[in-house]
Chain A
Amino acid sequence: MKHFDVVVVGGGHAGCEAIHAACRYGLRAALVTLDKSKTGSMSCNPAIGGLGKGHLVREIDALDGIMGRAADVSGIQFRLLNRSKGPAVQGPRTQSDRELYLQAVQKILAKENFTEIEGEVTGLLSRDGCIDGVMLSDGTSVHSYTVILTAGTFMRGVIHIGDKRVSAGRMGEAAADHLSNQMEQLGATFGRLKTGTPPRLNGNTINWEVLESQPADDDPVMLSFLSQSPSVKQVSCGITHTNQNTHEIIQENLGKSAMYGGHIAGVGPRYCPSIEDKIIRFPDKQSHQIFLEPEGLTTNSIYPNGISTSLPETLQYQYVRSIVGLQNVEILQPGYAIEYDFMNPMGLTRDLETNLLDGLFLAGQINGTTGYEEAAAQGLVAAIGVAKKIKGVPNIKFDRSSSYIGVMIDDLTSRGASEPYRMFTSRAEFRLKLRADNADQRLTEQGWLSGCVSAVRYRAYSKKMERLVACKLVLSSMSVSPNEARSAGIDLGLDGRRRNGHELLAIPGVSVEHVADLEPSFSKSSKATKKQAACEAVYITYIERQRRDVEALAKDLGVEIPKNFNYSIVSGLSSEMISKLSAARPHSLGAAKNIEGVTPAALTAVLLGLKSLELKKAI
């Protein structure tokens, strides 16, 4: 009987990253999925990246993950969001051809050596509080030392359209109902979350003439550091709006909506609201924008971004046809709401290991996140956790000050999730440092040392860094007087102070070209290198100012709390505090600080308890 190091349950975005990373680490891995052909599917919006999400993709890519590469190969509308704003808040994004994306993922996975098992996991195997593998519906068992559960929206998934309820994990695909029940018997507690998707429209029945269009970028920015340019044809999206009629139709029929008709208990996100939500919460808004996104090059299916709904089919027709450009539209697949099980991630370790069973890791939607990128990043983190556990590989540090992945893990494990969690740049207090352009500088080296970054990528990264370091050296050794600057078109105050290249680039309005005029050896650097150096120059003073904050943060984070620390031995803690801390299991004093209701006095008491524990051990 083959014994695996890790079994990944579910072939969604989290599962794919997890299985690929497990292979990169050389682990004996198996992927169990309900339907092999659906591995790498996009359930909802056929797009990868964006603001915050794009940052996650770059970080996954920096660690040699697959999402960025798959997106680039299948990308049909690349757009860099916030192009006109500073580099720290720019987010690379692309619409992808759904079919090409799926094929790209499967192709990348096919190169790796793992066992793919088609089947339904109906339960977890355990022994002495440790995970031992999974049970399948056909009665067989798959044994492993660790399990990464990435079931997405499939666990007791229920689709709602109006008052129609269908058990499903995704439209047309069966849900997995047994696993949750079995896990509950093991002590798991699930909550319910919901998410929605809009109807898919037949593009041939849309009147594109009357609509605005949003073209792809002329100068596309790729999601992966290794990609050069798009692989396939680029398309434009259409833009339209709802109107008063649309709103009236929806208003009058709210009771028929699954959400408002009281059929769904699950909590939805504040953002990404359904069209019903939008109309209720913002009744004064006359119209809501809709992006009509092509789902692929060889399909006529259009994804109308902005009108998620759980109204009955007939009503969907009614309100969609009230929209300009969509008067004669045919609906290929109705919109729906889906609710599913999730487990509160508070109490997970930073590697996403649960306290339910030793060796059980959870990643993706099951932890209360929403979005492909959020899921993928967690899949990667869990796989790294598994590799550390089994092979003792060097750690990769994910914390708030060095990656968006760190921000997400910290948010999830310290605060839990009471609504679907989505990444935004505003979640990162060190946003100016955590840029999409420097994800590789922040993570690739660690990834290489740990073992999840391939030699190919590392070579490419090293070369890039050599060029960048050389270029920055050139900038540092420049010494430009205000007069000299003026001759290159840079207007400085005549303060007589000489400036180096970094300082010049930090001045608003000064471009790479200006500096190149002043310094020929700078102009010799490649366009990409120059651009990178310029990015960094802009933010350097801010990053300096924040450095003390980072030090303070590191110090707080530095006081680790052992995994099974017994809070009841700490004198001076109220019973409420003891149960709060025991439930949350913060990994450090810094994490404990963020738990709601934890007071400074409690923290000090815990610190005392830890010290006294240390002292007792030393005796």
Chain B
Amino acid sequence: MDAIFAQATASGRAGVSIIRLSGHQAFDIASKLCNIPTCGRLALRSIKDPNGDLIDRALVLCFDHGASFTGERVVEFHVHGGLATVSKLLAELSKSDGCRLALPGEFTRRALENGNLDLNQVEALSDLIEAETELQRKQAMQVLDGHFSEAGRIWKEKLLRAVALLEASIDFSDDEIPADLHIEVRSIVEATASSIMAVLERSVMASKIRQGFTVAIIGAPNVGKSTLLNSIAGRDVAITSDIAGTTRDVIEVRIDLNGLPVTFMDTAGLRETDDYIEKLGISMSYKRSEAADVRVFLVDSEEDELLISKEPGDIVVQSKADTRDVSGLAVSGKTGKGVSNLLKLVSKKLSSETMLDVAAIRERQVDGLKAANDCLSKTKVFLTQDPLPYELASQELYFACTQLDFVFGKIDIESILDEIFSSFCLGK
């Protein structure tokens, strides 16, 4: 049986978030991340990932089996509540073999199965379970686009047909089954895989919508980045001064840009330096700019070469438009000239990537879709082999369908048989 984990406290930013891990292997799994304390003692521990990078210094609490909520061994990580820390810990836990995100109500279910709830609680449990499901369901409904389920239904229908075609070739090889069925199977598999991939791509965007986009302002020292940021923010956020190398850290400002939550990040001016602190600031710039959704290069002139190479999609804007006449995109942080144009451009870029269309929001859905697509890729490989390994291709399709099941619901063998028999005249 798998060990399960989940955030026990409400999601979102908080001072402390509790992540609970339950299972007979919970202590082994947790030991990979930190030195677990003896049971019943809340102790401060450094939680690290396999590379030794620190995830958080947090309070850890262990419960032995028989003495926990679920009845199994339980480890609770009381981490600092930042979204990033929680995500990182959840991600690390999911990497462990035999360890996965809990299904709604699963901790409670385990508690029940291990006889950890007494007779009085048993009476009340049905209600409890109902409530939990409702809550989860409501949550899901809030974020889920109605079209998501429809997409799922269509994929399943298509894959069902693909399976049926392969099964017909297997179970009715003696009947007159057309020899080129695998061509249709292939086209179904390819179409479904692309469609799932598109949704996955949009899902990245969808989660960004929830968490916000980032725009990094990059440029040489003293080109006017901080001034620009202040202008966008409408107040003095960064320290601006005439001395090059003043902004050492990334300064951020989060604004509502036409409905999108966008964080503009100021970065340390890019230049060669021996100053240790400045170096740190610059390396931070590199990191942040790589992760940014849009990069704005603020330059003196359009031909400037910078330490970070430009890529298509980057916005290049000339600075200090108040002191000179330049052609092309230019701004002046001091006077505000051209800033609204720049913001329009940024907004346009983000909007074009933002399709308020079908997307998976929950991590479990994303995992399920990714796993399904892996199976479809394997199926595609089989479909190109000669002789075609029908039973292996069919098996991979079943694995894909099972993954979709986790996301959408069950597929039934009777429906496959219906599909086969309505398509072909079979049987003697």
Contact = CB atoms under 8 A, between A and B. Distances in A.
A425 B173 CA distance: 12
Nearest to B414: A415
Contacts of A344: none
B129 A604 contact: yes
A216 to B, nearest CB: 14
A611 B115 contact: yes
B390 A89 contact: yes
A612 B122 contact: yes
A593 to B, nearest CB: 10
Contact of A424 (B1, B112, B122, B171): B171
Contact of A269 (B125, B174, B427): B427
A82 interface: yes
A288 B392 CA distance: 30
B428 A85 contact: no
A605 interface: yes
A426 B171 contact: yes
B389 A545 contact: no
Interface size class of B (residues with CB under 8 A): 35 or more
Interface of B, helix, strand, loop or mixed by DSSP: helix
B325 interface: no
Interface in B225-268: none
B395 A542 contact: yes
A558 B196 CA distance: 36
B314 interface: no
A85 B174 contact: no
Contact of A611 (B122, B175, B402, B426): B122
Interface string A587-610: 000000000000001001101100
Nearest to A605: B126
Interface string A248-277: 000000000000000000000111110000
Interface string B111-149: 011010001001101100110010000000000000000
Contacts of A611: 112, 115, 122
B425 A426 contact: no
A199 interface: no
A608 B171 contact: no
Interface in B379-413: 385, 387, 389-392, 394-395, 398-399, 402, 413
B133 to A, nearest CB: 8
Nearest to B420: A426
A273 B170 contact: no
B413 A426 contact: yes
Contact of B113 (A281, A424, A607, A612): A607
Nearest to B1: A555
A425 B166 CA distance: 12
B302 interface: no
A305 B428 CA distance: 6
A432 B112 contact: no
Interface residues of A, number: 49
A426 B417 contact: yes
A291 B112 contact: no
A82 B385 CA distance: 17
Given A86-B390, A86-B392, A426-B417, A608 B112 contact: yes
A88 B129 contact: no
A611 B123 CA distance: 11
Nearest to A270: B421
Given A426-B413, A432-B395, A601-B130, A282 B1 contact: no
B322 interface: no
Contacts of B421: 270-271
A194 interface: no
B176 interface: yes
Contacts of A426: 167, 170-171, 394, 413, 416-417, 420
Contacts of A269: 427
Interface string A69-105: 0000000000001101110110000000000000000
A222 to B, nearest CB: 19
B136 to A, nearest CB: 12
A194 B87 CA distance: 60
Contacts of B428: 45, 272, 291, 305-306, 308
Interface in B85-123: 109, 112-113, 115, 119, 122-123
A308 B426 CA distance: 12
B418 interface: yes
Contacts of B418: 270
Interface string B1-34: 1000000000000000000000000000000000
B48 to A, nearest CB: 29
Contacts of A396: none
A289 B424 CA distance: 13
Nearest 7 A-B pairs (CB), nearest first?
A271-B427, A572-B126, A272-B427, A426-B167, A270-B421, A305-B428, A282-B425
Interface of B: 1, 109, 112-113, 115, 119, 122-123, 125-126, 129-130, 133, 167, 170-176, 385, 387, 389-392, 394-395, 398-399, 402, 413-414, 416-418, 420-421, 425-428
9 contacts: A85-B390, A270-B417, A291-B428, A426-B416, A601-B129, A601-B133, A607-B113, A608-B122, A611-B112
